[in-house]
Amino acid sequence: MHEAELLGRSIVVAGLRGVEVGDPGELLENLRARRELGGLVFQLLDAGMVAGPEHLLVAILNALRAFELGLNVSSDLGMEILTFASGQRQISEAIRSLGLKPGRMDVALVLVAGSRREAEGGLRSLVEALGGEEDDGVLEVDDEKAGRLVEAYGIGSRELSSCGRLGSLPDVVRWLVVEKVALSMAYR
């Protein structure tokens, strides 16, 4: 679990391994209806397309700023986080790229709350409701995931070669995705 304070909000980012997802829309609707999660903003993403916790923290920061500045493309903060994390402006493309899919999958969970206590309580409730094993390792980038991220985020060979001396392929891809997400605010 990764915690942060951003723009006066308590943020939690966590990974879950082996979550059984039936109908993604129905799952999210059922979770949002839970009384103990009232007032909390959360989003569930395909951990296989996440480039580390920093990727999600930057997406959350951008989404919060977009709402402050009136630049949001969605009326829902959770959906705005998904659009920034995916690098897409179109909600349907963001869902296709980073949304949940039916079946057993690794999930990245982001939660935005008014206090640390609310955030931690919300995390416990979501983990209990979703099942799976809490494992932030699903957020990290390995060689296989790096290849998927290069394709999904349109990272070119020039970008890779110019940053190649900065570390391993997974490290370079992780930071290039974070950079793309951070810069996406400038295109709003």
Q: What is the pLDDT of residues 54-73, one digit of tens each?
A: 999 999 999 999 999 999 99
What is the pTM for the complete model shown?
0.92
**Residue 28: helix, strand or coil by DSSP?**
helix
1 contact partners, CB below 8 Å, separation of at least 6: 12, 13, 14, 123, 134, 136
125 close to 17: Cβ distance less than 8 angstroms: no
Q: How confident is the model at residue 179, as a pLDDT? A: 92
The CATH homologous superfamily to which domain 2-139 belongs is CGI121/TPRKB (3.30.2380.10)
pLDDT in tens, the chain (188 residues): 999 999 999 999 999 999 999 999 999 989 988 877 777 999 999 999 999 999 999 999 999 999 999 999 999 999 999 999 999 889 999 999 999 999 999 999 999 999 999 999 999 999 999 998 999 999 999 999 999 999 999 887 888 777 766 678 899 999 999 999 999 888 77
Using the CB atoms, write b or e for 33-58: b if 16+ within 10 Å. eeeebeebbbbbbbbbbbbbbbbbbb
The answer to whether 71 touches 171, Cβ cutoff 8 Å, is no
Domain ranges within the chain, ordered by starting residue: 2-139
Residues 6+ apart with CB under 8 A from 102: 21, 22, 23, 24
Q: Which SS3 state, helix, strand or coil, does residue 46 take?
A: strand
Q: How far, in Å, CA of 27 to CA of 14, rounded?
A: 18
Residue 164, pLDDT score:
65
